Amino acid sequence: MNTSSWLWGSRLTALGFSVGLGLTPLTTRAQLSFDLIHDPSMNAQALAGFQMAANRWSSVLQDHVTVTINIGFSSLGAGILGQTGSTGGWVDYSSFKLALAYDATSKLDVSAVTSLQPGSSFSMLINRTADNPNGPGSAVPYLDNDGSDNNSYVRMTIANARALGLYSSSGGASDGTIRFNSDFAFDFDPTDGIDADKIDFVGVATHEIGHALGFISGVDTLTYNSPPFGGPYPSDAFVYVSPLDFFRYSVDSRAQGKGVIDYTADTRMKYFSVDGGNTGLALFSTGESGDGWQASHWIDNWGYGIMDPAAAYGELLSLSKTDVAAFDAIGWDTVRAVPEPSTYGLIGAGMLGLAMILRRRRVRR
């Protein structure tokens, strides 16, 4: 697996001195563990809060891997609670499918693997590229199925690759850096509720860790490197389809055939599905060219879970079964069985319609 470091703007950030965190397994299988490297900006309260966030992930994911994250505080700008920079790399589509199939441990996993397109390349709806047949940079989607690099390689975080056995289970490259905005007042103890004038630090940290673990979308790279933000560039340049993007659909992509994903930057609704787009389990954000939030999130304020793009003062943030289902689909093993799709608040398909990236979490006023 070829690796490099790039920034996925999500909710938190880090730097620091080494602090090894040995987490006690809750099951007979080893759990996910974290090695946190903190800088002097992290006081005892912040370190305890981040450990609590790490423990949340270890309580639901049981892959025998160690994820190393640098953490710290700095001024990040107005409205940004935190941001995550993740180390990532590419793997060919065939190897990704094989790893996902080999790692399948639940009915949801089997459904997710079955939904993937056959062969050594995949098709997608894409737009805003220089070679768009509707005109250079056009927002009109088109089917990209030419088998070139952007149809043949998968971009993922190192942590996600560890979970799939595509990278060493520990050591090697650091998995990422999470920084929190020092300009905000945080409540570091969610056990007694969140103060009305503060932000839930543990919740934000949980969210940011989620990005490092693989809740990312290459649609953000397309967005910021195409009109009106930049570009346009040819479709072959966008070799950034992530594992999560293989479960990103729209009514239009579903109509193109089994497993055809929606990798467009526009306002049309995109949904999370593990059965080839037949059943929608949640809505994704549509990106800066869509609803204004980065695409590496659930749609804002629908209550889907911790990977919502924003948080309000006094809001208690928590993991949901929908969050866990997404991580199950992209190759993480869950401690408890993820509920069948029939137990979710499903989205009827007929109701759907609506370069380097730093994933950020913002505050909802």
The DSSP output letter for 205 is H
Looking at every residue in the chain, the average pLDDT score rounds to 87
- What is the length of the chain? 365
pLDDT class of 11 with cuts at 50, 70, 90: very low
Q: How far is CA 351 from CA 250, 268, 283, 346, in A?
A: 11, 12, 11, 11
What is the per-residue pLDDT for 17?
18
Give the model's pLDDT for residue 196: 97
The answer for residues whose C-beta is within 8 angstroms of residue 192's C-beta and 6 or more apart is none
Is 249 in contact with 280 (CB distance < 8 Å)?
Answer: yes
Question: Residue 351: is its pLDDT beyond 60?
Answer: no
Average pLDDT over residues 101-122: 97
Say what the pLDDT of residue 157 is. 97
Confidence band of 341 (pLDDT split at 50, 70, 90)? low
355 pLDDT above the threshold of 90:
no
- Taking CA atoms, 252 is separated from 15, 122, 165, 262, 350, in Å, by 42, 16, 33, 8, 11
Q: Of 254, 234, 231, nearest to 125 (Cα)? A: 254
The whole-number pLDDT of residue 361 equals 56
Q: How confident is the model at residue 340 (pLDDT cuts 50, 70, 90)?
A: low
- 363 within 8 A of 313, measured Cβ to Cβ: yes
- Which tens digits make up the pLDDT trace of 154-181? 999 999 999 999 999 998 889 999 999 9
User: At residue 153, does pLDDT exceed 90?
Assistant: yes
| pLDDT value at 149 more than 90 | yes
Tell me the percentage of the chain whose pLDDT exceeds 70: 84
Is the Cβ–Cβ distance between 268 and 351 less than 8 Å? Answer: no
Q: Is the pLDDT of residue 265 over 60?
A: yes
What angle, 0 to 180 degrees and rounded to 10, lies between the N-to-C axes of helices 44-60 and 201-213?
50
Domain that holds residue 31: 2-364
- Summarize pLDDT for 267-289 with one digit per residue, the tens: 999 999 999 999 999 999 999 99
Q: What is the pLDDT of residue 347?
A: 44
- Least confident interval from 23-32, 99-108, 194-203: 23-32
pLDDT at position 359, please? 56
Q: What pLDDT band is residue 105 in, cutting at 50, 70 and 90?
A: very high
Amino acid at 283: L
| pLDDT beyond 80 at 21 | no
* 50-89 tens-digit pLDDT: 999 999 999 999 999 999 999 999 999 889 999 999 999 9
Report the number of distinct structural domains present in the chain: 1
Q: Could you tell me which of 179, 128, 153 has the C-alpha nearest to residue 358?
A: 179
- Read off the pLDDT of each residue in 1-5 and give the average, rounded to a whole number: 46
Element housing 33 (H / E):
strand 33-38
Q: What is the pLDDT of residues 217-241, one digit of tens each?
A: 999 999 999 999 999 999 999 999 9
13 pLDDT band (50/70/90 cuts)? very low
Proportion of the chain above pLDDT 90, given as a percent: 81
- Reported confidence tier of residue 28, pLDDT bands at 50, 70, 90: very low
Assign 30 a pLDDT band (cuts: 50, 70, 90). low
Strands 270-272 and 248-249: antiparallel
For residue 173, what pLDDT is reported?
Answer: 84
